[in-house]
Amino acid sequence: MRALITGGAGFIGSHVADCLLERGDQVVLLDDLSTGRLSNIEHLEDNQDAEFVLGSILNADLVDHVVSRVDVVYHLAAAVGVNLIVEKPLESLMTNIRGTETVVEKAHKYGKRTLVTSTSEIYGKNVSDSLSEDDDRILGSPLKSRWSYSEAKAIDEILAYTYWREKGLETVIVRLFNTVGPRQTGSYGMVVPRFVSQALRNESITVFGDGTQTRCFCYVGDVVTGLVALSEHPDAFGKVFNLGGVEEVSISDLAQRVIERSGSTSEVEFIPYDVAYEEGFEDMERRVPDNTRAHKLVGFAPTASLDDIIDRVIADQKR
Ligand code: UDP
């Protein structure tokens, strides 16, 4: 099999590439290096089965060409990270809506099975004990950039679903919850690599808000196993799946865990949201996935604990 991975030089995309190459597939990695990095794929430089294509998912001719040459598409290219969305809302919107429209349209033109990655931001402010795929979305104004991101990803989901329903294109939608691991950078806001990098420098750990907000972090290796299995399961077509971690932790406790496990002398500094992001910024108080659907279909079950995840990110950053 030959797979196109959009966002292939990104954090998750590069791990999908490693997984597919390991089992003998070929990969074409399309990335405009806006947030992706060549260092994520430099270990593939001499690999005959991996090809890097520099370019954007907004370039329809290029997308047409690369989709025509593969058997399956993993669409991971997106504007991600709350920082980036808040700083560049228009550009993010274009990438996330027009880019996905282009990829799915070309996948349909050539009849290529496509996995579209979405996000737990879909659920917005829903603080349910465990969010399952059919749960309601609770969103603030679309004029707040965070919620416009959620709207854009919702449109991506509708596109993928409608192409399946109306045109029979084999699409699978996956909502990722706080994926973490080696190669993720803190530059776009992601909390675990940020805390680890602050801890390793013995700088203040910047907890936004009061730190009582919670998340469930999932190791990238576990996520990638789930993504590949879902992409290939015929009963997954036209459906949406959560993939997330199982251990709920508050951001304050996360800061303490990172300090402890890195042996840092850092202290925690609380920063109000409007200073950290922008005036009127709204966070999600809680985000806990229900993974039952993916577990039942492909046996998805995260193996890495939060401590494992933190240790692996520490080792990666020390390297
Ligand atoms: N966060 C924080 N300090 C940071 C970066 C993030 O306290 O330096 C908080 C952020 O406000 C959110 C949580 O950590 O409540 C997770 O943030 P991230 O951007 O990693 O993912 P999100 O779940 O918001 O998409």
H or E stretch covering 301? none
pLDDT of residue 86: 82
- Give a yes or no: residue 56 inside a domain: yes
CATH number of the domain residue 39 falls in: 3.40.50.720
Residue 196 domain flag? no
Q: Is 49 exposed, middle or buried (0-12, 13-18, 19+ CB in 10 A)?
A: middle
Going from the C-alpha of 309 to that of each of 93, 96, 124, 185, 219, the distances in angstroms are 31, 28, 25, 14, 6
* Rounded CA separation 15/194 (Å): 20
Q: Both tokens of residue 71?
A: 């058997």
Q: pLDDT value at position 277?
A: 86
What atom in ligand 1 is closest to the CA of residue 192? Answer: 20
pLDDT averaged per 10 residues, the chain (length 319): 98 98 98 96 98 98 98 96 84 94 98 98 94 96 88 97 98 98 90 98 98 98 98 97 97 98 98 89 93 98 98 96
Any idea which residue has 């954090």 for tokens? 11
Q: How many domains does the chain have?
A: 1
Domain membership of residue 40 (yes or no) is yes
Of the listed 74, 123, 149, 277, which one is catalytic? 149
CA distance 250 to 265: 20
- The residue behind tokens 């730190």 is 211
Please tell me the predicted confidence (pLDDT) of residue 278: 82
Nearest CA to ligand 1 atom 24: 82
Q: Residue 180: name the closest of 256, 93, 244, 233 by CA.
A: 244
Would you state the pLDDT for residue 266? Answer: 98
188: in domain: no
In a domain, 318, yes or no: no
Counting ligand 1 atoms within 8 A of each CB, the residue from 117, 176, 184, 191 with the most, and so the one to mutate, is 191
Q: How many whole angstroms from 190 Cα to the centroid of ligand 1? A: 6
| d(C-alpha 82, C-alpha 181), whole Å | 18
pLDDT of residue 87: 86
**Number of other residues whose CB lies within 10 A of the CB of residue 120:** 24
pLDDT of residue 134: 97
Distance 213 CA to ligand 1 centre (A): 9
Residue 285 lies in a domain: no
Q: Tell me the residue ranges of DSSP E strands in the chain.
A: 2-6, 26-31, 50-54, 72-75, 113-119, 171-176, 179-180, 205-208, 214-216, 218-219, 239-243, 248-250, 268-271
Q: Which residues contact 187 (CB under 8 A, 6 or more apart)?
A: 35, 81, 83
- The best mutation among 82, 217, 242 to test binding of ligand 1, ranked by most ligand atoms within 8 Å of the C-beta, falls on 82
Of 248, 127, 145, which is closest to residue 137 (Cα–Cα)?
127
Ligand 1 atom closest to Cα of 277? 11
How many Cβ atoms from other residues are within 10 Å of residue 283's Cβ?
16
pLDDT at 61: 98
State the distance from the centre of ligand 1 to the C-alpha of 104, rounded, in angstroms: 30
pLDDT of res. 232: 96
Who contacts 170 (Cβ-Cβ below 8 Å, separation ≥6)?
Answer: 113, 114, 164, 234, 237
Q: What is the DSSP string of 5-25?
A: EETTTSHHHHHHHHHHHHTT-
**Which value, to the nearest 10 degrees, does the dihedral of the CA atoms of residues 81, 59, 223, 158 take?**
90
Whether residue 29 is contained in a domain is answered as yes
Question: Ligand 1: distance of its center to the CA of 160 in Å?
Answer: 28
- What pLDDT sits at residue 186? 87
Q: Which residues contact 314 (CB under 8 A, 6 or more apart)?
A: 196, 199, 200, 258, 261, 262
Question: Which pLDDT belongs to residue 80?
Answer: 84
**Is the Cα torsion angle 81, 146, 99, 72 positive or negative in sign?**
positive
- Nearest Cα residue to atom 11 of ligand 1: 208
Residue having the nearest C-alpha atom to atom 16 of ligand 1 = 191
Is 149 in the active site? Answer: yes
d(CA 319, CA 314): 9
Q: Residue whose CA is closest, atom 21 of ligand 1? A: 190
Nearest ligand 1 atom to alpha carbon 284: 15
For residue 48, report the distance from its CA to the centre of ligand 1, in Å: 38
Q: Which residues, judged by CB distance below 6 Å to any ligand atom, belong to the binding site of ligand 1?
A: 82, 178, 189-191, 194, 206-208, 213, 215, 251, 283
Q: Which of 153, 147, 170, 134 is nearest to 242 (CA)?
A: 134
What pLDDT was estimated at residue 189? 79
Residue at 310 is within a domain: no
- Answer yes or no: are the C-beta atoms of 291 and 229 closer than 8 Å: no
Q: E strand or H helix at 35, and its extent?
A: none
Atom of ligand 1 nearest to the CA of 195: 8
Q: CA 91, CA 153: separation in Å to the nearest integer?
A: 14
Domain containing residue 142:
2-180+219-245+290-302
The Å distance, Cα 50 to ligand 1 centre, comes to: 33
Of 251, 282, 313, which is best to mutate to test ligand 1, by the most ligand atoms within 8 angstroms of its C-beta?
A: 251
